[in-house]
Chains A and B, each alone.
Chain A
Amino acid sequence: MTVSGRGDGKSMDRSRTLHICIVCIALSVTLLCMPASWRSHLRLITLSPLRPLHSAGSSTAHKVEQGTAWLMPSTQAESKNAMSEEESQILKSRLIAATEQLHDLLEQTRNYQLLTDGRADLSQIPTVGADVILTHDPSSWRDSLLIARGTKDGIKVGHPVVWDRHLVGRISAAGPYLSHVELITDPAFLSSAVPLPEPNATGTSDVARVQGVYEGNGEEGGLRWIPRTATIKQGWYLLTAGDQTQGIPSGLILGRLTDVDLHGFYYSITVTPTLRHHNLRQVLVLLTDVIEPPERERRR
């Protein structure tokens, strides 16, 4: 009797486990088959509780800064007393060297701006600043950020996300309060791009510009479809070529060409982003006019 009782219990447990498995699998498959817009909406609404966590973290950091501010005057006074004449001389010489370096950098920047022809002019485009909540994607194959702005702030799927003159990525899903940013290193990211030749002493270049297709690979990026007839060198910057349909302005920095090889008729080029996206705390979303991709394409 006892043995059969135990056997019944075990078979009941098994059938219960089987039922739970079937229900969970059915739920997962339903989520997988849902339209992409529903899926992203559901995802971002579920993640909404994370938003106050971030603002709480920021205000705590601010309070800590305020709380420790009273320590500053005494610290400065102590350091003032401790600074000898010799140390101030060393600092003066360092300041002179730094000023010279700054002049060099300003000159380089001027040359660089001449080359870009001021094309990445973002002043005419309305923007929304956003705090970054999650800096990494849990998947090792995807690269994304979660930002604390959504459709209530005018954000739409496809809007470009920038930091200074660097393209960070594109909005891949927008909820009411949160949005997911598909980074330029994500495998789903594609954009037309132009390698920028290094300027000569006069700030110009004779090398003809060629357009290729930039795509992420989960870690860095690659530039494709540049024919071998073109002149390409390692260390050149890669800029966006501008895409009306995707609303990406031209002249935004994607990265630097770190590895240039010939592969058949085309170059095989590795692009390393100049910006460490995962260290970003704030980004700007460009509220450009974008043509929303059809549902079938967004499923990717």
Chain B
Amino acid sequence: MKWSVVILVTVTLVVIQTTLGEIIRIGSIRPDLTLIFAVYLAFSVRKDDDAVLAAWLVGIFADLASIGPLGATSLIYLLAARLIRYMKDMLFGDDPFVQTVSVLFLAAFVHALWGLLYWMSYRSFSFGEIVQRSFFVALYSAVVTPLLLSTLSGIRPALGMKRSSWA
């Protein structure tokens, strides 16, 4: 595992998400690129501890660029990575379809959780909006996942990982 490359890819994804939002958005919906990368790392890294640490690191960088509570995204990504590692064998390894479905469910869950937290704090949007926006962010993220996975599979050696069976 080459941590410097992991950090570089994470920073690139955060910069894309925070500067090219107008290009990649559909309506007000943007894909969660950092979550896709965290899921990819959770599936692809050989060691459990590296996978968990990498997901946490991705979350920290996402936290840094946001005005939300610092540390919350990293905590959620860490728990998501732990869950993926726990269920990896049941989910047929690191198949891209499985990763896409995982992104769909995790993005829906994470964004709905965030929505609920902000709804409790500010009450400026309805419950229906939380469900709707979380669903569309998850769907868009899932659509983008195969594209990002194919790009990431090309830099697997640079990340210090072996080529996957499907790549």
Cβ–Cβ contact B62 & A138, under 8 A: yes
Interface hits, A199-248 → B, CB 8 Å: 215-219, 222
B94 at the interface (CB under 8 A from A): no
Query: What 0/1 readout, one digit per residue, does chain B (5-32) give for beta carbons within 8 Å of chain A?
Result: 0000000001101110110000011101
Number of chain B interface residues as a range? 35 or more
A140's partner among B15, B30, B82 (CB-CB below 8 A) is B30
Answer whether A138 and B49 are a contact pair too, CB < 8 Å, given A21-B82, A219-B28, A300-B121: no
Counting chain A CB atoms within 10 Å of each CB, which of B29, B66, B74 scores highest? B66
Residues of A within 8 A of B49 (CB): 13, 16-17, 20
Residues in chain A within 8 A of chain B (CB atoms): 13-14, 16-17, 20-21, 24-25, 27-32, 34, 39, 42-43, 46-47, 50, 134-142, 144, 146, 172-173, 180, 182, 186-188, 215-219, 222, 276, 278-279, 300
Residues of B within 8 A of A278 (CB): 21-22
Q: Contact at B64–A217, with CB atoms within 8 Å?
A: no
User: A28 contacts B129, CB within 8 Å?
Assistant: no
B interface, CB within 8 angstroms of A: 14-15, 17-19, 21-22, 28-30, 32, 34, 47-49, 52-53, 56, 59, 62-75, 78, 82, 85, 111, 114-115, 118, 121-122, 124-125, 129, 133, 137
Is the CB–CB distance between A24 and B53 below 8 Å? Answer: yes
In the complex, what residues of A have CB within 8 A of residue B52's CB? 17, 20-21, 24
A-B contact count (CB 8 A): 139
Name the residue of chain A whose CB is nearest to the CB of B32: A140
- Looking at chain B's contact residues, is the secondary structure mostly helix, strand, loop, or mixed? helix
> Which residues of B lie under 8 Å from residue A186 when comparing CB positions?
67
A172 CB contacts on chain B under 8 angstroms: 67
Question: Is B64 a contact of A47 with CB atoms below 8 Å?
Answer: yes
Inside 8 A of B65's CB, which chain A residues have their CB?
47, 134, 137-138, 146
